Amino acid sequence: MGLREDAAESRMKKKVEEALRSKMKAQALKECDSMVAKFAECAKGRTLSVVWSCRSEARVLNDCLHQYTNDEVLEKFKKQYEEESLLRS
């Protein structure tokens, strides 16, 4: 493989990973929808005070999001993508 082909393949892998990360984040927000709503309700009408006033809601939301947005989950998305790619070939 030539240098250009390597660079093109590398860019493609990065684009695929970006798309998978985006999909992972969207799924996390869907799964944590009720926590997002609670945090949003707490934050409504606040500016700087949101940091300390909504600390517990933010912690719960972040804990939920982390369940769905970590390296292990990303690897599962990658594996699923690779398997789907093989099926299309």
Cα–Cα dist 43/56, whole Å: 12
- pLDDT at residue 1, as a whole number: 54
Note down the domain range covering 41.
3-88
- Contact between 24 and 69 under an 8 Å Cβ cutoff? The reply is yes
Cα–Cα dist 30/40, whole Å: 14
Cα–Cα dist 73/25, whole Å: 10
Taking only the tens of pLDDT, the chain with its 89 residues reads 566 777 777 888 899 999 999 999 999 999 999 999 999 999 999 999 999 999 999 999 999 999 999 999 999 999 999 888 877 76
Two tokens, residue 16:
């695929």
Cα–Cα dist 23/42, whole Å: 27
Domain tally for the chain?
1
Two tokens, residue 40:
């949003």
